[in-house]
Amino acid sequence: MTTVKLSVNGKEMSAEVEGRTLLVDVLREKLGLTGTHVGCDTSQCGACTVHVDGKSMKSCSVLAIDVAGAEVTTIEGMANPDGSLSVIQAAFKEHHGLQCGFCTPGMVMTAAALLKENPVPTEGEVRAYLEGNICRCTGYHNIVKAILAASGQDVAAMAGE
């Protein structure tokens, strides 16, 4: 067992971990941050996506000890300081970009990473960027719309509506 210190959503936290403990298990089980989900065991679905030192990562594929000392942001840290939905979260709600909600935390984290890199993406760029995130409910239609809307574009026109 080793003690790993992390800054999670701006709060200093520490947890006892084994060498094989994954970041996602620290978040979910040790810190009770169950918004980050596990949907697969082959690093394919993206439900576990978080930001580590500002970069989006699949927390199911990261060992906790490898990110000791890092700043981690999870879905629980994405709302505005007053608790209201951030622009991306609000766009998901406005455009019905979620149904069962299970892929949603990963989608929001990935969308945030995309818009940071590329503030005004094309539809094709959004779809390509979501390559590592699976949603079984929405057919991606409204997720893509929500992300385009969050980037300030006229999404109804882009979606041909």
Partner 1 sequence: MPKDSGIGVASKRREDFRFLTGRGKYTDDVALQGQLYAVMVRSEVAHGKIKKIDTEAISEMPGVRAVFTGEDFSEVGGNPAGWLINSRDGTPMREPKRPVLAHGKVRHVGDAYAAVVAETLQQAKDAAEKLAESAVIEELPAIVDMAGAISDSENRVHDEIDDNLCFDWGWIEDNREVVDKALTSSPHVTTLQLVNNRLVPNAVEPRSSIGEYDPGTGEYKLTTTSQNPHLTRLLICAFVLGIPEHKLTVVAPDVGGGFGSKIYHYGEEALVLAAARKLGRPVRWTADRSESFLSDAHGRDHLTTIEVGSTMDGEILAIRTSTLANVGAYLSNFSTVTPTFLHGTLMAGPYKVPHVYVNLKAVFTNTAPVDAYRGAGRPEATYSLERAIDKLSRELNLDPIEVRKKNLLTPDQFPYTSPVGLIYDIGNYQNTLDKAIELADLKNFESRVKKSKSNGKLRGLGLSTWIEACGIAPSNLVGQLGARVGLYDAATVRVSATGTIQVMTGAHSHGQGHETAFAQLVASKLGVAEDAVEIVHGDTSKIPFGMGSYGSRSLAVCGSAMDRAVDKIIEKGKKIAAHMLEADEIDITFENGNFTVNGTDKSKSFGEVAFSAYVPHNYPLETLEPGLEETAFYDPNNFTYPAGAYLCEVEVDPDTGKVTICSFTCADDFGNVINPMIVDGQVHGGVAQGIGQALTEQTVYNEEGQLLTASYMDYTMPRADDLPFLKVDHSCQTPCTHNPLGVKGCGEAGAIGSPPAVVNAVVDALNRGGHAVTHIDMPLSPHRVWQAMQG
Residues that bind ligand FES (CB under 6 A): 38-40, 43-48, 58, 60, 98-104, 135-138
Binding residue for partner 1, selected from 72, 108, 112, 149, defined by CB under 8 A: 108
d(CA 7, CA 85): 22
Binding residue for partner 1, selected from 143, 149, 150, 151, defined by CB under 8 A: 143
The nearer residue to ligand FES, 60 or 91, going by C-beta atoms, is: 60
Contacts of 97 (CB under 8 A, 6+ apart): 91, 104, 107, 138, 142, 143, 145, 146, 147
The nearer residue to partner 1, 7 or 44, going by C-beta atoms, is: 44
Is 74 a binding residue for partner 1 by CB under 8 A? The answer is: yes
Is 136 a binding residue for partner 1 by CB under 8 A? The answer is: yes
E strands along the chain, which residues?
2-8, 11-17, 49-52, 55-58, 71-73
If DSSP codes are grouped into helix, strand and coil, which group holds residue 110?
helix
Q: Minimum Å distance from CB 142 to ligand FES?
A: 9
Binding residue for partner 1, selected from 52, 79, 87, 113, defined by CB under 8 A: 79
d(CA 55, CA 86): 18
Q: Minimum Å distance from CB 98 to partner 1?
A: 6
Q: Which two tokens stand for residue 83?
A: 């608790």
Closest by CA position to 6, among listed 78, 76, 68, 77: 68
Q: How far apart are the first and last CA of the chain?
A: 56
User: Which residues of this chain interact with partner 1, rule CB under 8 A?
Assistant: 18, 28-29, 32-42, 44-45, 47, 74-76, 78-79, 85, 89, 92-94, 96, 98-105, 108, 123-124, 126-128, 130-131, 133-145, 158-160
